[in-house]
Each structure stands twice: as C-alpha cells, then as structure tokens.
Amino acid sequence: MFRLQSSKVLAVDMTGDAVKAKNGSMVAYDGEMAFKKLSGGGEGIRGMVTRRLTGEQMTLMEVKGRGTCWFADRASEINLVSIQGDKLYVESSNLLATDSGLRTGTEFTGLRGASQGNGLFTTTVEGHGQAAIMSDGPAVVLRVSAQYPLTVDPGAYVAHQGNLRQSFQSGVTFRTLLGEGGGEAFQMRFEGDGLVYVQPSERNTIAGDV
C-alpha cells in the first residue's frame, strides 16, 4: 500500500481502507477520497490528554477511499519502516503517515537531566503494517548490539525500534565539544539489540536546548 514515488513523495494506494498522515501533507490524489482531521495524535481520549500534558504538537488527518494519494512535507526525505508486532519510537515532527494496521500513542522516555527534571516524550507506532518517517537528508540506519551500544546527538535522532534501552547522558554533546552548544547539554545512549534512524542534519532547537 505504501510506495515511494520519489525519495521525497509517498504514494499510498487505497482500496476502501484508511491511512493516517500528518495534517496538511497531502499534495495530490486521484479517485474518491474523504479527509477527516484527527484530534491529538494518540488513540482515544487518553492519547489526547497525554499530548496536552506534554505539550507535544502532532496533528493527524485520516484519509479514506479508493485511489492513490500522494504525501510530502517540506521536501523531506521519506523512509519506509515495516513494523511487525514491535514498536517504533519516532519524533512527532518526523512521522509522515501510518497505515490502518498501526496505532499511534505517546510514551515517556526519561528525564532530560536531573538538574531540571524535564520529561521527554516520544511518539510510538505499534502493530502490523508500514509507517513513513521523514528525515532532513537521507536517513542512516545504525545497528545496535550488545557489544556495540550507540550514542547519538539528539539533534540528529529520528527514530528507533527493537529491544533497546534508551538513556540520557548530561554534560556533553558533540556541539559543546566544538564550543557551539548552549543550555544543558546531553546525549542519547542506546543499548540492547535494534535499529536507530539518524539524519545527516541537526535540528536548531535540539542539542542541549530542548
């Protein structure tokens, strides 16, 4: 159902089923389609309340019908991820679309730092199906194993999946080593067995200032 028309355009072929996508990301469609804006980004009232408490912005729309719908967002690179009963953790701004076999929600992933105590929350996608995630430049998929834990700059982090433990290390980021960081700096560390998606670009609002 999901296929890449190009590296920056997602084509979704539908035969009466539905897909959830980032609000405003539809660029064209053929056939008969119905569009509905979804409140929150999680499933049901609990997801809506969680998002209001965390302040995370994620507005989705549901597209249902027969035909093909094309999605894109700010010329971002699009990556297809297969989810087979496991859970994908993804930054909400990097999630473009999920098919009808997947559920979205929000999960607490830890504290940013003991000195400030601010929580970090991540969008979750689980079930069986395909998701389309976006990256600023072609995403790189890095394998994490028991022998090789991975440390990632938060500004480059996009998503992860598998049996991974995520933690935060305060004090140093790659930027602060170069004298470019500001605020409380931290890195993201992953241990276990799984995959981490990173982008070859850093968000301006991350790397210690989140």
Q: pTM value?
A: 0.81
pLDDT at 164: 94
Asked if 114 and 152 count as a contact pair (C-beta separation under 8 A), the reply is no
C-alpha–C-alpha distance, residues 118 and 131, integer Å: 29
Report the alpha-carbon distance of residue 209 to residue 197 in Å, rounded: 21
* Helix residue ranges per DSSP H, the chain: 44-54, 174-177
Residue 50 has pLDDT above 80, yes or no: no
- Predicted confidence at residue 142, as pLDDT, reads 97
- Contact status, residue 14 vs residue 30, Cβ threshold 8 Å: no
- In the predicted model, is pLDDT for residue 177 greater than 70? no
Task: Say which range, 15-24, 85-94, 182-191, has the weakest mean pLDDT.
Answer: 182-191
Per-residue pLDDT at 204 exceeds 80 = no
- Give the rounded percent of residues in the chain with a pLDDT score beyond 90: 55
Question: Which of the two residues, 29 and 106, has the higher pLDDT score?
Answer: 29
pLDDT digit string, tens, across residues 52-77: 444 455 678 999 999 999 999 999 99
Helices (H), 36-120: 44-54
Residue 138 scores a pLDDT above 60: yes
Query: Across residues 152-157, what is the average pLDDT?
Result: 86
